[in-house]
Amino acid sequence: MSDLARFLPLSHRSPDGAAAAPADRRVQISTVIALAAAVLEAASDDARRAFIDDARLSRDGDGTASLAELAGTVVRGRRRSARDLTAVARAYLRLPGPRPPLPFDVAGAVALAASTTAPFARRAAIAGHTVRATDAGWTFGRGPEVSASADDIVAFLTGVSDVPPRRSPVS
């Protein structure tokens, strides 16, 4: 069974076959928090607090720490799961205004995890399809291809958006 992971998409194996990233998502979560800090730089303390609550990070800070400090606390803290990463990515995608896209490895990990835990209607929308991120190098699933940007796929699967990935029109 241990060999199975190397055949899965996004299995965190580097091209040379060495294991790259463990199941611990602290660094990825910290990266998303840093992105949110940049987006919320001029925002009110209430907006930052709302992000922290939405991302389920309330227990990690004392309420007075900046998002940059919180990112450091997460990296040094306890192990984090794909579920934790999904919550932070969902909160990031809910931020108002323009924001940089999620890093592609983060979007891919969240999309893959959310494809198995999303509500039935969202899982059904992608079932029997290969889901491809048009702006990233990842796909998962089997069947006819549906595609969207990495952020749009994550937004759909996490409930931020109701627009599913679509089939590409045949030319």
List the domains of the chain with CATH numbers: 104-167 (3.30.1050)
> Per-residue pLDDT for 50 more than 80?
yes
**Among 16-20, 41-45, 53-57, 128-132, where is mean pLDDT lowest?**
16-20
Structural element, H or E, at residue 90:
helix 82-93
> Per-residue pLDDT for 33 more than 70?
yes
Interacting residues of 5 by C-beta distance below 8 A, sequence separation 6+: 11, 13
Q: Which two tokens stand for residue 13?
A: 């194996």
How far is residue 89's CA from residue 8's CA, in Å, rounded to a whole number? 22
Q: How far apart, in Å, are the Cα atoms of 3 and each of 9, 30, 43, 81, 142?
A: 13, 30, 47, 21, 20
Task: Give the pTM.
Answer: 0.83
> Per-residue pLDDT for 1 more than 70?
no
Which pLDDT belongs to residue 133?
A: 96
| Total number of residues shown for the chain | 171
How far is residue 102's CA from residue 90's CA, in Å, rounded to a whole number? 10
Which pLDDT belongs to residue 14?
A: 47
Max mean pLDDT range (63-67, 135-139, 157-161): 157-161
